[in-house]
Structure 1
Amino acid sequence: MSGSSMTSFITRTDVLRVALGWGAFAALLALHPLLAPPVPGPLLVVTLLAIVTVILVCAFGVVKQAEALAHRLGDPYGSLVLTLSIVLIEVILISAVMLGPGEHATIARDSVMAVSMIILNLVIGLALLLGGLRHRGMAHNRTGTSAYLSMLVVLVALAFGLPGLIGDGGAYTIGQEIPIILLTLALYAFFLFRQMGPQADDFTEVDERLRPAVRAAERDAPRTPIRQVLAAHRVEVLTRLVLLVVTVVPIVLLSHDMAALLDDGLGRLGAPVALAGLLIAGIVFLPESITSIRAALSGEAQRVNNLCHGALVSTVGLTIPAVLLIGMLTGQEVVLAESPANLLMLAVTLLLSVTTFAAKRVTAMHGAAHLATFAVYVLILFS
């Protein structure tokens, strides 16, 4: 295809967003000597506000490309592109921190715990509350949702519960790490294979407004194979995928660079250290959060599931094996076992998720319950 056909999918705004994101990251690197703690209060506030503004601008660019890809590829492929783009970058950055100087025994545990609470309670809670208020309840594909939650129950138990029971000081021993890595990767790979292949229809929207006969006809109608879609729209898909990635990367880089600034500012306010990790995780997954809420407002409950539950399955399924492998190769201890309070919150969250999505239709009341659970988690951070 010619270069002119590629430019038809790239607007001036897209280019400006990319330039703004990478320019802000370059500026942050240049100003690094001035931003060494303790940073003067006014400079700290201005820098944080500027970073958040740039991240918001870039986030809407990511959402634009993600929605265009979702429309072109259909679910679950469209949602999977956004999910894997963000999660893979996050995993790479966590791995880079572990390979850098210093001790980072709990970085994977703290990061994934924060992501779990944000996705399963804050984002899903807001999505169900707003979508439920607008649509008086939304139907979802219960088979696909059940598959997500089944994966999460097992992966979360392996990541945060089991190390505290059979490990040494909250960390798996070498002999335990190898089977855990292999089991986690095998389960995640099998899940992706089924989701993108034989069970792809289990992750598509359901429309209760249609008559049963019409729904059955739509379900039985042959879908256009993803290979044909990619062949017919190769240039558009590749262009939008590249734009999505180059717009996501500055978001993640800026989020991690502002961690030190948040630690400095929150430390002066006497706020808990874990609050900075929660804020960073929320910013990293901001594009996915915005896309999920917009999907809920459009009544696309299954897309909310694909984005949120899919993101967490990928986060746990990729992060835990990566950090365990790095720990084995570098001799670092990787502490995964969570505190009793956080384990209780994880158990409550998973139980709440199972009961919420066991319903044929999810409502605003379900969303309120998830938001209340997130509020309790924040309360625990300050305890």
Structure 2
Amino acid sequence: MSRAEVKQLIGVKDVARIVLGWGAFAALLILHPLLEPPVPAPVLVIALAVIVAVILVCAFGVVTQAEALAHRLGDPYGSLVLTLSIVLIEVILISAVMLGPGEHATIARDSVMAVAMIILNLVIGLALLLGGMRHRGMAHNRTGTSAYLSMLVVLVALAFGLPALIGVDGSYATAQEIPIIILTLVLYAFFLFRQMGAQAGDFTEVDTRSPQRSPREERTGIRQVLAAHRAEVIVRLALLVVTVIPIVLLSHDMAALLDDGLGRLGAPVALAGVLIAGIVFLPESITAVRAALGGEVQRVVNLCHGALVSTVGLTIPAVLVIGIATGQTVVLAESPANLLMLGVTLLLSVTTFAAKRVTAMHGAAHLVTFAIYVVVLFS
């Protein structure tokens, strides 16, 4: 690819977003002493408003690159690029926090729980509600969706349910952690292997007008695309990653400000985790809603369910390995109320996507479930 072609792919807006995101992160580092709690209320409000504004601007840049990659690569490959980019950065940051000073026994549990509720109820609910109202009913690929939900039932049970029953004070014993790590990673790796290989067709949009392609044709198709457009894919992937990193860094750096502000308002501590998780996955959320408005409900499934499968499948083994290596206690068991909400959410998800066509009513049920989760947070 020539320099002129690269310049066509990297626009002025892309450069401006990157400069804005990294510039805001650098400014936050410089001003860190001034933002140590307790921060004066006007300064706190202004700082949070600026950070959220920068994140929103960068998020639309991520969405632009993700949609271009999805159009070029097709699903499930296009959705995987965005999902894995965000999830891997999130896992690295959680791991870095655990390796830092202080006790962080519940960080993985709280973070993944917040992500699960936001993705499975808020984002999917909003996408199905808006998409269902525009398109009445949307058909999805039930084989691929069932594969996601099967993974989630097992991974969520291993992560949050089982340690409450066989662990000690909500934590697995070392002898239990090792098989859990191995089984989780093997299952997740096998899932990715099948999704990107023989079963790639199970994660594409339903189109009754065109015949289904064989697994060999699917693999040949993606190889041809990569061979013909390798430079474009690399440039867009680099732009996506460079734009998404400031979003994650800024959202985690604003955690202390949120804790301070919510503490003054008397809000529950867990609410900060929910807000941060929502901001981290903002690019994916915007992409999912836009896909639903375009009638691409399978892309919504790939983005949302795929993100949660990757989050649980990578975060839990990572923190358990760090816990073993550093001697830290990793508390994974959830409270009875949160376990109930997880169970209701998974049951609702299975019921929703068992239907041939998902509708606005399904979306409304998911949104109400998220609202109930918020009530539980304040209880």
TM-score normalised by length of structure 1: 0.97
Amino acid at match of 1:127: A
Instruction: Specify the alignment match of 1:153 in structure 2.
Output: 153
In the TM superposition, residue 218 of structure 1 has moved relative to its aligned partner by 4.5
Distance 1:230 1:15 in 2: 25
In the TM superposition, residue 6 of structure 1 has moved relative to its aligned partner by 1.6
In the TM superposition, residue 279 of structure 1 has moved relative to its aligned partner by 0.1
Aligned-residue sequence identity (percent) comes to 82
Instruction: Specify the alignment match of 2:228 in structure 1.
Output: 232
- CA shift digits 1:16-68 (9 cap, x unpaired): 00000000000000100100000000000000000000000000000000000
What aligned pairs does 1:1-383 form with structure 2 within 5 A after superposition?
1-207=1-207, 210=208, 214-215=209-210, 217-219=211-213, 222-223=217-218, 224-383=220-379
Instruction: Provide the secondary structure at the position in 2 that maps to 1:354.
Output: helix
Instruction: Provide the secondary structure at the position in 2 that maps to 1:138.
Output: strand
Stretches of structure 1 lacking an aligned partner (at least 5 in a row) = none
- CA shift digits 1:238-259 (9 cap, x unpaired): 0000000000000000000000
Stretches of structure 2 lacking an aligned partner (at least 5 in a row) = none
Q: How many residue pairs align between the two structures?
A: 377
Amino acid at match of 1:250: P
Instruction: Provide the secondary structure at the position in 2 that maps to 1:332.
Output: coil
Structure 1: which 4+ aligned runs deviate by more than 2 Å?
1-5, 217-225
- CA shift digits 1:256-279 (9 cap, x unpaired): 000000000000000000000000
TM-score normalised by length of structure 2: 0.98
Instruction: Provide the secondary structure at the position in 2 that maps to 1:247.
Output: helix
- CA shift digits 1:307-339 (9 cap, x unpaired): 000000000000000000000000000000000
Amino acid at match of 1:271: A
Amino acid at match of 1:345: M
Distance 2:272 2:338 in 1: 17
In the TM superposition, residue 2 of structure 1 has moved relative to its aligned partner by 2.8
Distance 1:349 1:135 in 2: 24
In the TM superposition, residue 4 of structure 1 has moved relative to its aligned partner by 2.5
In the TM superposition, residue 225 of structure 1 has moved relative to its aligned partner by 2.6
- CA shift digits 1:64-92 (9 cap, x unpaired): 00000000000000000000000000000
- CA shift digits 1:171-221 (9 cap, x unpaired): 0000000000000000000000000000000000003xx4xxx44x24459
Distance 1:113 1:17 in 2: 30
Amino acid at match of 2:330: V
Distance 1:256 1:22 in 2: 14
